[in-house]
Amino acid sequence: TVRIASGRKRARQEVQLNAANASLGSQYRSAVKGVQKAVVGGDKGKAAELFKAAQSVIDSVADKGIFHKNKAARHKSRLAAKVKALALAA
């Protein structure tokens, strides 16, 4: 157990921050999966719409430092390529 008051406060804060970060990570995964399912389903309109929303979520998570901005850029790039390939195939 932590004896110092600032340490106890820090421990309380970490619980809240960890929950917030986990929630953001979950939002990110859901957004990416939504786009991927639309691409696999062949629905180019829905895929483009979900990709637009996913970009916002991915940028938000990267801005908050949940993961690195280069990882965000990589994921956006790969999703964009899949959506574009779907649009070109049609």
Kindly tell me if the per-residue pLDDT of 1 is higher than 80.
no
- The confidence score (pLDDT) of residue 22 equals 96
Residue 72 pLDDT level (bands cut at 50, 70, 90): very high
pTM: 0.83
pLDDT in tens, 30-68: 999 999 999 999 999 999 999 999 999 999 999 999 999
What's the per-residue H, E or C state across the chain? CCCCHHHHHHHHHHHHHHHHHHHHHHHHHHHHHHHHHHHHHCCHHHHHHHHHHHHHHHHHHHHCCCCCHHHHHHHHHHHHHHHHHHHHHC
Kindly tell me if the per-residue pLDDT of 6 is higher than 90.
yes
